[in-house]
């Protein structure tokens, strides 16, 4: 596994989302916009691309996941990751590595066009179809068409004392939505 800072470039030309994960002061926040685009047309403005998965002690998920790419493909990957988390409870890294192995070697999964950002209370990872499980150096992950804008904004905001992970995520996503035409200001936020 590599340990690196990541703003996943848009290798396949996906358009239609920005996902940002910010870790600060023992909290992690993941934010995603709600826009779904088909070519140059906005087909939906309130999609939920960030969600909790995994069984939590209070019925809520202990892992936050966000996805960019084809929706059906992303849901397939979310389901697979949940299965891995059931098999390896409280072992997010192991579940991610196992999913990445399957994604890389399974003929069906290899065709999926999506990326995921996942986080629990301790660690954050980006998963790709190339078999990558990447952990950021600075606690910030961004994927999707507006990912680089959100990443740059979040890194700048990390230098400001007193901002929480959620404050940074919300402000950075607002900035990304003002720059990327495939990202809107309808932001969904989940925090642990």
Rounded to an integer, the average pLDDT of 118-144 is: 95
Is 119 contained in some domain?
A: yes
The whole-number average pLDDT for the span 41-52 is 93
Is the pLDDT higher at 52 or at 60? Answer: 52
Identify whether 56 is part of a domain. yes
CATH number at 82 reads 3.60.20.10
Between CA 137 and CA 98 the distance in angstroms is 22
Verify whether residue 17 is a known catalytic residue: yes
Q: Would you place residue 23 in the very low, low, confident or very high pLDDT band (cuts 50, 70, 90)?
A: very high
> Over 70: is that where the pLDDT of 24 sits?
yes
Residues 73-116 pLDDT 10s: 888 899 999 999 999 999 999 999 999 999 888 888 878 888 89
Helix then strand count (H, E) for the chain reads 5, 13
Q: Is residue 2 one of the residues assigned to a domain?
A: no
Catalytic residue from among 5, 17, 76, 183: 17
pLDDT digits (tens, 9 = 90+) for 151-184: 999 999 999 999 999 999 999 999 999 999 999 9
138, two tokens: 């600075």
CB 141 within 8 A of CB 68: no
Counting the structural domains of the chain, the total is: 1
């Amino acid at each position: 596994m590599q340990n690196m800072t990541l703003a996943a470039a848009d290798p396949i030309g996906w358009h239609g989302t920005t996902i940002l994960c910010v870790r600060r002061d023992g909290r992690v926040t993941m934010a995603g916009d709600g826009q779904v685009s088909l070519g140059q047309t906005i087909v939906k403005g309130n999609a939920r691309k960030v969600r909790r998965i995994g069984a939590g002690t209070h019925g809520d998920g202990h892992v936050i996941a966000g996805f960019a790419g084809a929706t059906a493909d992303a849901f397939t990957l979310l389901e697979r990751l949940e299965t891995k988390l059931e098999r390896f409870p409280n072992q997010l890294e192991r579940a991610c590595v196992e999913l990445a192995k399957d994604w890389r070697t399974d003929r069906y999964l290899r065709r999926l066009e999506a990326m995921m950002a996942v986080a629990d209370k301790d660690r954050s990872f980006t998963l790709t179809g190339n078999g990558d499980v990447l952990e950021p150096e600075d606690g910030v992950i961004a994927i999707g068409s507006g990912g680089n804008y959100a990443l740059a904004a979040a890194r700048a905001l990390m230098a400001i004392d007193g901002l929480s992970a959620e404050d940074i995520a919300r402000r950075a996503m607002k900035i990304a939505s003002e720059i990327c035409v495939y990202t809107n200001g309808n932001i969904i936020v989940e925090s642990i």
